[in-house]
């Protein structure tokens, strides 16, 4: 090694969960069609979670995600609200330490929840959607080493 | 099933925090992660009826039951501009989005003045007529019309509804008595 050193920089990742279903889709589409994405200017630290049906986590730069609801598989439909929220969080990153703490990346985890009436067995603790949701949170926390700073639930 | 919605919802918040606590090894932080929700579309509640009213009330009042949660106050929500009675219209959604951050702040400070809970524990808070229990006996049972045929309603009987994602039960009982 000749005395050389290797410097490893661990990214400080934060994530915020935006969970919702169709109620989010409609307004987001209007925002896209009529006023675009006015809330968040381009910021390379801001990413969103990709397809949550396959467990694949594809980073996308907001607001470039699509808005297909696609049977609640592609969760980008929440972008209207997510962008607003993320923009607010980022705005507090000017100068002083932001309320959510310093970070290198802010991941917006848009997770489709489906069957939100809670009458479906999938949303009982042993249910498939319930467990799937928890799994995604666990992966974000462990494999992505990200720290959750908030959960937004659109029933 | 609608009567169980509140318990599913409250459990869910606890379970999510537990998972993050397990993963991050910082349970104290995890138990304080702000959880923000908001009410159903008022038109949907009106047209759907009793079950939707129950769910709507559960969402609106989560901040009184689960620490570090909040529900966005929709007082003053703009009138709908479309005929869709299920979903918020675009103007309403933008209006709600404007309140995300302030509600996140509310949730962050909403400790409910209740004791800390460990990972996997549930803290069941219950008030009688808006106040805490007047005696220890009242804390574990109270006369109730729910179910209508019951003469005594066991608060402890509610506990079975608090099932964790691991299919286990773990509770911390703490009684707050009025002086």
Query: CA-CA distances (angstroms) from residue B74 to A37, B9, B61, B107, B158?
Result: 23, 20, 13, 16, 30
Neighbouring C-beta atoms of residue B151, cutoff 10 Å: 7
Least confident residue range of A54-63, A77-86, B26-35, B76-85: A54-63
Kindly report, residue by residue over A1-28, the tens digit of the pLDDT.
Answer: 556 666 666 778 888 887 776 655 444 4
Q: Please choose, from the candidates A94, A114, A146, the residue with its C-alpha nearest in 3D space to the C-alpha of residue B20.
A: A146
**How does residue A112 score in pLDDT terms, banded at 50, 70 and 90?**
low
pLDDT at site B92: 78
Residue A7 resides in a domain = no
The secondary element (H helix, E strand) that includes residue B37 is: strand B35-38
Would you say B92 and B38 are in contact if contact means Cβ atoms under 8 Å apart?
Answer: no
Q: Which of A15, A24, A26 has the highest number of chain B CBs within 10 A, making it the mutation to test binding with B?
A: A26
Nearest CA in chain A to B84: A26
Give chain A's radius of gyration (CA, Å): 17
Phi–psi pair at A25, nearest 5 degrees = -60, -45
The whole-number pLDDT of residue B64 equals 87
Asked if B15's CB is within 8 angstroms of A125's CB, the reply is: yes
Contact B88 A130 (CB under 8 A): no
In a domain, A16, yes or no: no
With CB atoms and an 8 Å threshold, state whether B96 touches A152.
Answer: no
Cβ contact, residue pair B84, A88, below 8 Å: no
**Chain B residue with minimal CA distance to A146?**
B24
Which residue among B2, B37, B90 sits closest to A153, beta carbon to beta carbon? B37
Report which of residues A152 and B176 the model is more confident about.
A152
Task: Pick from A120, A144, A155 the residue to mutate for testing the B interface (most B CBs within 10 Å).
Answer: A155
Enter the tokens of residue B152. Answer: 């005594």
In a domain, A84, yes or no: yes
Give the count of beta carbons closer than 10 Å to the beta carbon of residue B173.
11
Q: Where are the beta strands (DSSP E) in A32-145?
A: 46-48, 60-61, 105-112
Token representation of residue A123: 């949303």
Q: Is residue B67 within 8 Å of B112, Cβ to Cβ? A: yes
Q: Does the distance separating the beta carbons of B35 and A125 come in below 8 Å? A: no
Q: What is the pLDDT of residue B61?
A: 93
Q: How confident is the model at residue A69 (pLDDT cuts 50, 70, 90)?
A: very low
Residue A67 pLDDT grade (very low, low, confident, very high; cuts 50, 70, 90): very low
Q: How far apart are CA A18 and CA A85, in angstroms?
A: 9
Please tell me which of the candidates A26, A148, A155 has its beta carbon nearest to residue B33: A148
Whether the CB-CB separation of A107 and A144 falls below 8 Å is answered with yes
A12 within a domain of the structure (yes/no)? no
Among residues A118, A46, A111, A112, the alpha carbon closest in space to that of B40 is found at A118
Distance from CA of B134 to the nearest CA of A (A): 34
Q: Does A5 map to a domain? A: no
Over range A42-53, report the average pLDDT. Answer: 50
Extract the residue ranges of chain B whose pLDDT is less than 50: 1, 128, 145, 147-151
Domain presence at residue A15? no
Indicate the Cα dihedral angle A45, A46, A52, A56, nearest 10°: -20
Residue A3 domain-assigned (yes or no): no
Structural domains of chain A, count: 1
The boundaries of the domain holding residue A134 are 23-104+112-153
In a domain, A148, yes or no: yes
pLDDT range class, residue A92, cuts 50, 70, 90: low
Listed by start position, the domains of chain B span: 2-108, 122-172
- Distance from the B136 Cα atom to the nearest Cα atom in chain A, whole angstroms: 31
| Assembly ipTM | 0.76
Examine the pLDDT at A105 and tell me if it is beyond 50.
yes
Cα of A34 to nearest chain B Cα, Å: 10
pLDDT band of residue A123 (cuts 50, 70, 90) is confident
Per-residue pLDDT, B98: 79
The answer, yes or no, to whether the previous bond of B147 is cis (omega within 30 of 0) is yes
CB contact under 8 A, A155 and B100: no
Q: How far does the CA of residue A2 sit from the closest CA of chain B (Å)? A: 36
Distance from CA of B97 to the nearest CA of A (A): 6
**pLDDT number for residue A98:** 63
């Amino acid at each position: 090694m000749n005395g050389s050193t290797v410097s490893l920089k661990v990214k400080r990742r934060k994530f915020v969960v935006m969970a919702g279903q169709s109620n989010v889709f409609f307004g987001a589409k209007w925002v896209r069609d009529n006023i675009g994405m006015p809330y968040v200017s381009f910021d390379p630290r801001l990413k969103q979670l990709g397809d949550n049906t396959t467990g694949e986590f594809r980073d996308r730069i907001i607001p470039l995600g699509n808005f297909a609801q696609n049977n609640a598989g592609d969760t980008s439909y929440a972008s209207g609200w997510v962008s607003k929220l993320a923009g607010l969080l980022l705005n507090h990153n000017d100068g002083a330490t932001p309320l959510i703490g310093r970070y290198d990346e802010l991941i917006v985890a848009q997770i489709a929840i489906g069957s939100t009436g809670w009458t479906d067995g999938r949303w009982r603790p042993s249910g498939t959607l319930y467990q799937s949701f928890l799994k995604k949170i666990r992966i974000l926390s462990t494999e992505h080493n990200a720290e959750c700073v908030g959960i937004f639930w659109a029933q | 099933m609608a009567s169980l919605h509140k318990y599913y919802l409250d459990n869910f918040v606890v379970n999510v925090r537990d998972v993050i606590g397990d993963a991050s090894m910082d349970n104290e932080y995890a138990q304080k992660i702000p959880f923000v929700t908001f009410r159903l579309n008022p038109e949907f509640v009106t047209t759907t009826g009793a079950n939707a009213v129950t769910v709507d009330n559960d969402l609106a009042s989560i901040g009184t039951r689960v620490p570090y949660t909040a529900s966005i106050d929709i007082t003053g929500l703009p009138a709908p501009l479309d005929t869709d009675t299920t979903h918020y219209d675009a103007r309403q959604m933008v209006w709600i989005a404007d309140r995300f951050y302030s509600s996140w702040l509310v949730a962050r400070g909403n400790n409910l003045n209740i004791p800390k809970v460990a990972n996997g524990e549930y803290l069941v808070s219950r008030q009688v007529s808006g106040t805490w229990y007047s005696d220890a006996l009242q804390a574990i049972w109270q006369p109730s019309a729910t179910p209508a045929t019951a003469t005594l309603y066991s608060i402890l009987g509610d506990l079975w509804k608090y099932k964790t994602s691991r299919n286990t039960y773990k509770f911390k009982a703490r009684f707050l008595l009025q002086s």
